[in-house]
């Protein structure tokens, strides 16, 4: 993957240019084998437990490449894990156990990048430093979980438990004399959740829910020792999707986050709600896919709009062009990037 913008301008810090101008990675490399009634997969692999449009809910195992926020396609955002996975199949029942001895964490880029997730407010009389990210990788830092799924009368149901060091970094704060140091770090969380899907004939119903314990959030309380508080929260989403001729589909989702033991010092409200709309079609030409996605907070004016047109030349090559627009307050999920609207082109070869 290469982005020539970092060679065409000196706008970005050197660390950002070195991090994002070019990258070559192995997406997946694994070994499959069977033993008795179990199927095993060892190596670098994608483990997808949930898939909604434009947002992550039950997809808790995947790490994410967030250097461009959530703007790229999900197959590019998801980062595989070095994992051992065992699966058992019996009729309409499926059990899956995963163990990740060496965690892959979210890639948030370098300070100064367009979509770096943390820009602290200046404090008079203090210098601000963002330290190197702490990424634990010892034997006590492994992730593991179990997922059970059933197909009953057309209902695709699943439930899971997963514990891991939070792939998303929290920025702890330390004050020394005239320097405030923030460090991206990861602590253990536990997650219990489930998914369902059902083809209702006229529409496809999907829903996901995840209860997360001990996730750390930034607090605005200046007296807090490290600037972080632990919170438990329930995230859930319900979506409907309709399909029409000429490969046209329309999707609508409603989602919500509820904090069970709310700390008033954090930025999110006790209940955060939102919705999304997606329209994708090839009505203009069988090889031209047009996609319009809108994700909006219902708590405040805070939204993301994406328009993308993709020319599917053949099974390997595609050319895309699009625009991404952010709107909202500086402390909003999307509004924090209000000045990061962009237009882009993309050439992609898949093999």
pLDDT for residue 7: 72
Of 119, 154, 189, at which residue does a domain stop? 189
Q: Which two tokens stand for residue 53?
A: 């449009």
In a domain, 195, yes or no: no
Residues near 253 by Cβ (< 8 Å), separated by ≥ 6?
Answer: 52, 53, 54, 55, 237, 238, 239, 240, 275, 276
pLDDT for residue 4: 74
pLDDT tens for 175-220 read 988 999 999 999 999 999 999 999 999 999 999 999 999 999 999 9
Same domain, 176 and 309: no
In a domain, 226, yes or no: no
Task: Quote the domain boundaries for residue 135.
Answer: 5-189
> Could you tell me if 170 and 216 are in contact, meaning their C-beta atoms sit under 8 angstroms apart?
yes
> Could you tell me if 263 and 232 are in contact, meaning their C-beta atoms sit under 8 angstroms apart?
no
pLDDT for residue 218: 95
In a domain, 257, yes or no: no
Same domain, 183 and 285: no
In a domain, 231, yes or no: no
Please state, in angstroms and as integers, the Cα–Cα distance from residue 213 to each residue in 145, 235, 249, 343, following that order: 15, 11, 36, 38
In a domain, 339, yes or no: yes
In a domain, 281, yes or no: yes
Number of domains comprising the chain = 2
Please state, in angstroms and as integers, the Cα–Cα distance from residue 31 to each residue in 27, 118, 146, 309, following that order: 14, 38, 20, 37
Same domain, 16 and 149: yes
The rounded distance, in Å, linking the Cα atoms of 132 and 66 is 17
pLDDT for residue 332: 92
Same domain, 284 and 167: no
Please state, in angstroms and as integers, the Cα–Cα distance from residue 295 to each residue in 116, 191, 292, 308, 327, following that order: 20, 25, 10, 15, 11
Same domain, 315 and 179: no
pLDDT for residue 10: 72
Q: Report which of 338, 287, 294 is spatially closest to residue 309, judged by C-alpha positions.
A: 287
In a domain, 210, yes or no: no
Residue 276, beta-bridge partner list: 253, 295
Spans of the chain, pLDDT less than 50:
none
Same domain, 165 and 300: no
pLDDT for residue 184: 96
Of 144, 170, 189, at which residue does a domain stop? 189
pLDDT for residue 280: 98
Same domain, 16 and 142: yes
The rounded distance, in Å, linking the Cα atoms of 146 and 140 is 18
Same domain, 30 and 150: yes
Of 133, 160, 189, at which residue does a domain stop? 189
Same domain, 156 and 303: no
């Amino acid at each position: 993957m290469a982005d020539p913008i970092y060679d065409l301008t000196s706008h970005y810090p050197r660390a950002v240019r070195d991090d994002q101008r070019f990258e070559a990675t192995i997406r997946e490399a694994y070994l499959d084998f069977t033993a008795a009634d179990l199927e095993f997969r060892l190596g670098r692999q994608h483990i997808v437990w949930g898939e909604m449009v434009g947002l992550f809910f039950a997809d808790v195992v995947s790490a994410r490449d967030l250097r461009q926020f959530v703007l790229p396609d999900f197959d590019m955002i998801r980062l595989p894990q070095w994992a051992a996975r065992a699966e058992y199949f019996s009729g309409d029942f499926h059990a899956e156990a995963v163990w990740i001895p060496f965690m892959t964490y979210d890639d948030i880029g370098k300070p100064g990048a367009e979509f770096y997730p943390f820009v602290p407010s200046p404090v008079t009389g203090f210098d601000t430093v963002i330290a190197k990210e702490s990424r634990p990788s010892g034997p006590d830092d492994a992730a593991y979980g179990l997922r059970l799924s059933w197909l009953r009368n057309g209902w695709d149901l699943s439930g899971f438990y997963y514990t891991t060091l939070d792939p998303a970094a929290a920025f702890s704060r330390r004050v020394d004399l005239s320097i405030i140091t923030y460090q991206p770090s990861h602590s253990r969380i536990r997650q219990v959740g489930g998914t369902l899907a059902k083809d209702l004939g006229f529409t496809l119903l999907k829903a996901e829910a995840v209860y997360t314990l001990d996730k750390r959030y930034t607090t605005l309380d200046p007296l807090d020792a490290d600037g972080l508080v632990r919170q438990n929260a329930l995230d859930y989403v319900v979506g409907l999707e309709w399909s029409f001729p000429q490969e046209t589909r329309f999707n609508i989702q409603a989602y919500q986050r509820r904090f069970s033991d709310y700390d008033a010092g954090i930025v999110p409200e006790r209940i955060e709600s939102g919705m999304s709309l997606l329209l994708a079609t090839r009505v203009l030409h069988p090889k031209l896919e047009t996609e319009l996605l809108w994700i909006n907070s219902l708590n405040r004016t805070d939204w993301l709009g994406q328009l993308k047109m993709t020319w599917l030349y053949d099974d390997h090559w595609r050319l895309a062009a699009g625009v991404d627009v952010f709107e909202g307050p500086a402390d909003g999920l999307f509004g924090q990037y209000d000045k990061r609207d962009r237009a882009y082109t993309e050439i992609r070869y898949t093999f």
